[in-house]
Amino acid sequence: FRRSLTLWSPPLRGKTALIIVDLQNDFVTGSLKVAEGEQAIRNTNALRKAFKFDLVAHTRDWHPKDHCSFWDNHEGAEMYSIKELTLPDGTVTDQVMWPRHCVQHSHGSQFHPNLDIEQSDVVVSKGLRTEVDSYSGFFDNCKGSETMMRRIMFESGVTQVYVVGLALDFCVGWTSQDAASCGFDSFLVADCARAVHPEPDHKKLVADFAAKGVTVIDSSQVPVQRNFNGETAMKLARKLSQWRVELLATSRSQAQTPDGGPAKAHEEYKRKDSSD
C-alpha cells in the first residue's frame, strides 16, 4: 500500500493512456469493414499529434482459424445471425456470427498501413481462445481470462484512459467500460471511433456510457483536466494496492499471449503476415 501511495502522492499527476482498438485491415477495408473506418484512423492520428500520451496501446483481434465467432465454423449458421453458445464458465450467451476476420498472421489481422505506430507503442492481442469471443482489450467476454492490458496500465502508473477505434458499439465500448470497471478514469473519444450499426442518438449514447462509468468526449476535449485531492489520492492508492495483490496472484502463464509487446514486435508479425 505504501508503494502504491508513493506512486500517487503529490505532486499528483495522473498519467494518460490512449487505447487504439482494432484498427486492422479487416475492420477498415476487409471482411468486416466498418463505415468510415479510415476517417477514424485519420482522427486518431491527428489526436496523437495534438497531444502526447504517456502510453499508447493498440489492441488487435488475433483469432485462431476455428474461432467460435466465425459463422462458417457453425454448420447451418447464417452470417450476422445470433447463435446461443455455452461459454467456458458454463453460462449461455448470444454470439454474433461474424464473417471470418483477423485470423492470426493473415493480411486482415495486420494494422491498417495508414495508422501511425511508434516504437514505444505496445500491442495487446485478444480473441486468442477458440471457445469465447473477446470484445474488450482487458478481458474475454465471460471474464474467464485477462489480457496484459491492466498490468501494463498498472505498471505504467496510468490513471486516465482514452479509448478510440473500431467499433464503437462493440470493442471500443467494451474496452472503455472495462477500463472504468478496473478503476481508471475512462473516456471514449467519439470522433475517433465508428460503429458497426448506425450510431444511436448522441444524448442516449452519452447517458448509457455514463451509467457504466465512461465519459463520452470529443478529441478537442483531450486531455480532460482532473483536480486530485488527498481523498482521491488515497482511493487511487488503495485501488492500486488491490490490483497489485490481484496481479501478483495471477501468473503470466495464465495471461493471453502474444501481447504487451512493443511496436517492433508488431512489425515482426507484419513481416510474417506478408510472407503468408
Annotated catalytic sites, by residue? 22, 126, 171
**CB neighbours of 214 closer than 8 A, spacing ≥ 6?**
176, 177, 179, 180, 186, 187, 188
| 3-state SS assignment for residue 141 | coil
Q: How far apart are CA 64 and CA 82, in angstroms?
A: 20
8 A C-beta contact, residue 21 and residue 175: yes
Nearest CA-CA partner of 264 in 119, 52, 77, 157: 119
Cell match 470529443: residue? Answer: 218
Residue count of the chain: 276
**CB neighbours of 191 closer than 8 A, spacing ≥ 6?**
43, 218, 219
Give me 204's grid cell: 442516449
> In one letter, which amino acid is 154?
F
